[in-house]
Amino acid sequence: MTRVLEVEGLVVSFPGEHGRTPVVDRLDLELDAGDTLALVGESGCGKSMTALSLLRLVPRPGRIDAGRIRIDGEDLLALRVDALRRLRGHKAGMIFQEPMTSLNPVLRVGAQVVEAIRLHERVGVLEARRRAAELFERVGIPDPAERLDAYPHELSGGMKQRVMIAIALAARPRLLIADEPTTALDVTIQAQVLELLRELRRDTGMAVLLITHDLGIVNEVADRVAVMYAGRVVEVGARETLLGAARHPYTQGLLRSIPALAPRGARLPEIPGSVPSAGAWPSGCRFHPRCPRVFDPCKQHDPDWTALPGQRVRCHAVARELAS
């Protein structure tokens, strides 16, 4: 399997009250062709910033301080701007959370897709339009040829999201980064878009990095799952292993606190406290103030990876368990 995405030691920081504050802290990820990796976490964990940094789209005044990002073998951080522009869209495409604001409201949607096509291939406008109509059909937009001339405000949320997917696919990327693609959509529309993503994955062999906070979506679409907390990945594993037998206390807490899985009427198990904001991360293991299995080393040392069949965990308690 070819490795489409490799991230090592990624650090993204923003200026804060006491110098630069990291929001993504020494993050590691890998993704092979044809695989779907879900990056899960709650708000403030740094997952969106991770997604943006993969295309070097981190908004100022933030910046990538350290780490290595390789997309299809190319070192992203060493690229010059023109090479970077060629890579964006062609090697890696991105779809965003808010379909309302991700499309230019004064341009027809067909024109926006055509623009994406012609940025990466030398084709005439007519040919590009034909391809755009094909893409629209591929993503399930009814009456694709007519829809090319619609303005974004004439389309529903689900349709706009499909247009976004069409734009992302226009240059046939190897990697698709989807940042909360269905969060703003209704449940029934979300099901349609998830089905579309599954189909596309099957047909094109793209690698997909899916950023989400919804564990249900993770179960539906992902092959592997990485759980993020306070700027780091704390657990990675195959979907069934992680969802069925998570080892990290945070993942376990998250799974338990989902109301859909809880018996009616009983108290929902809670994770006490709240997510620490960047700049106020606790020392040692960042989850330790909220962890039911905390013990001494947790307060001082950030845990290393502990490998298990089918998953890796960063947890002192798990390491101790395995050692004994």
Partner 1 sequence: MSAAPTGAAALAEPLLRVEGLRTWFPVRAGVLQRPVAWIRAVDDVSFSIEAGRTLALVGESGCGKSSVGRSLLRLVEPQAGRVWFEGVDLLGLAPAALRPVRRRLQMVFQDPMASLDPRMRVRDIVAEGMQAFGIGSSESERSERVARLLARVQLDPGQMWRYPHEFSGGQRQRICIARALALEPRLVICDEATSALDVSIQSQILNLLRDLQQELGLTYLFITHDLGVVRYLADRVAVMYLGQIVEEGPAEALFRAPQHPYTQALLAAVPSLDPARRHSVAAAPGDVPSPSAPPPGCRFHTRCPRVFARCAQEAPPLYGTASGASRCFLSDPGAATPDAGPAR
Interface residue list for partner 1 (CB under 8 A): 42-43, 156, 158-159, 186-192, 194-195, 213-217, 219-220, 239-240, 243-244, 253-255, 257-262, 264, 267-271, 274-275
Nearest distance from residue 119's CB to partner 1, in Å? 29
Give the CA distances from residue 234 to residues 189, 213, 227, 285, 312, in Å, rounded to whole numbers and listed in that order: 31, 15, 6, 10, 8
Structure tokens at 56: 């070097």
Distance, CA of 143 to CA of 196 (rounded, Å): 17
Give the type of residue at 72.
D
Closer of 277 and 300 to partner 1 (Cβ): 277
Nearest distance from residue 307's CB to partner 1, in Å? 21
Give the CA distances from residue 110 to residues 121, 163, 223, 282, in Å, rounded to whole numbers and listed in that order: 16, 9, 33, 49
Closer of 160 and 314 to partner 1 (Cβ): 160
Nearest distance from residue 240's CB to partner 1, in Å? 4
Nearest distance from residue 8's CB to partner 1, in Å? 28
Closer of 122 and 267 to partner 1 (Cβ): 267
Distance, CA of 53 to CA of 65 (rounded, Å): 11
Closer of 176 and 225 to partner 1 (Cβ): 225
Nearest distance from residue 76's CB to partner 1, in Å? 30
Task: Kindly give the residue spans of alpha helices, DSSP state H, lying in the chain.
Answer: 47-53, 81-90, 99-102, 109-120, 125-138, 144-147, 157-169, 187-204, 215-221, 239-244, 249-256, 296-300, 316-323
Closer of 77 and 189 to partner 1 (Cβ): 189
Closer of 31 and 196 to partner 1 (Cβ): 196
Q: Which residue has the tokens 């694709």?
A: 144
Nearest distance from residue 172's CB to partner 1, in Å? 25
246 near 318, Cβ under 8 Å? no
277 near 267, Cβ under 8 Å? no
Closer of 216 and 282 to partner 1 (Cβ): 216
What is the number of alpha carbons within 13 Å of residue 71 lying toward its C-beta? 28
Nearest distance from residue 128's CB to partner 1, in Å? 27
